[in-house]
Structure 1
């Protein structure tokens, strides 16, 4: 099962068998050679406790039980966003909401524009030495629109637990996600991402490109930004899935409550586990000079570190940004 052709062609099957064979090998090792059985049983107990803890954390973070929906989901469900939307609507905004279980809805009612966007992305990718144009973002929005489905930067804020996916040049997928429950991470850390619409039983690691601002008063400042380069396997299937939805003008997975639709891109349920990574122990503010070198999708790690350093440079305490205590230049 560990042969390279197996891992390359059916990685999901390799991963499932790997998890299953870990406890199985420990049990049969204990039965095969009893003098070392207690070592095997102790290891099996530790492995089971670790898996059990991760399962509880996974359920809590993603609000999989009704009583664990989380404050962010409750705020959204209780029409906090929709109430702000009504205020924005009175200011002349043209953004719309769609009711739950509306299977005939299309993204912004303009599938042709989305198809053109995908085709334009492919055209940009066909020129390897050309400079791809960045994905257009919305214009600046007034403060009243922060809770009306858009952040202060004019970026769409998806319902908690639902990822907002848009296609970028270079076969790159941008995911924005706000977990239903409280979730913090350090710059440079990664999460295990599960998207049931693409792969129900497997998770894949992706580095978080954004930082967690624990002092922010709005949920969009704790939004996970993930950049995924489509290559093979899961990433290729994800790209094709998003592209198919955009071509069809579909919204994707719809929450079971009223929500504000994005002007472009699609929505789908996403689950995360983590965070993982040793970067949480690094004291970035103790260094006088920072040199960041990254290429391709590796920019995700570099972007989060750069944003963290810049925030510390203007006087923010690193502890409030998910890192260690300290302001740039002051050390510990």
Structure 2
């Protein structure tokens, strides 16, 4: 992936680190800086990319070592793999209990799903603080609220970071912009509740987990909510025609990348609505079908 990340100044204390839109494992991150320490929101998928992110943090803030705190929005590797670098530098790591357990069970490379050998050192670190209720992190003159999501949404253990003084909301993968979301580890129903909850957090800038930054007047959350509502609507019947619905989704949301996820989202949402368990291997095979094998990564 040749495009370089963009660093956005979203206020006196807040920066967003935007990676290119489109492509697996290309997530956004960011940081919030006070006089005494910096809160890093998420890391990146590979050792090299995370190292570049942390170099940007140090250059912008002058903070390092125990002046760094990281909030990991959920356990997926694109957001969590670089956390080991913050831990080894002497920083602290925050995550929900479920995310901490899943991170500790990793690293999650999904070698049967993705063809890639450039991860580098992504050893799972120990999470220092489990976030089970809203937590305010004092950075010295600036504070950030780390808020666990009350529902199983994108995953069972999502959290968001809200910076009221700069009007910034880091959503993690509760929001995808221009990219098909992935319901595989969560639920469409809970995700919709989480999106409605985000609207109660005042913000002028929204940093999605994937895709470009969003400002006032953005329809990104409404667009995502409409997609998730469609999933629930079309999978409410006992025996939907998954192939036809997949084709419909690819046409309706043709501008969104990673269209192979529609098949997974439909099957997972149907299982959730009908009280059955979606077989992970079956979901993976449905996603790999357009590729005829593991998905090649360009990260």
Instruction: Report the TM-score when normalising by structure 2.
Output: 0.27
The structure with the largest strand share of the pair is 2
TM-score by length of structure 1 reads 0.25
Higher relative helix content? 1
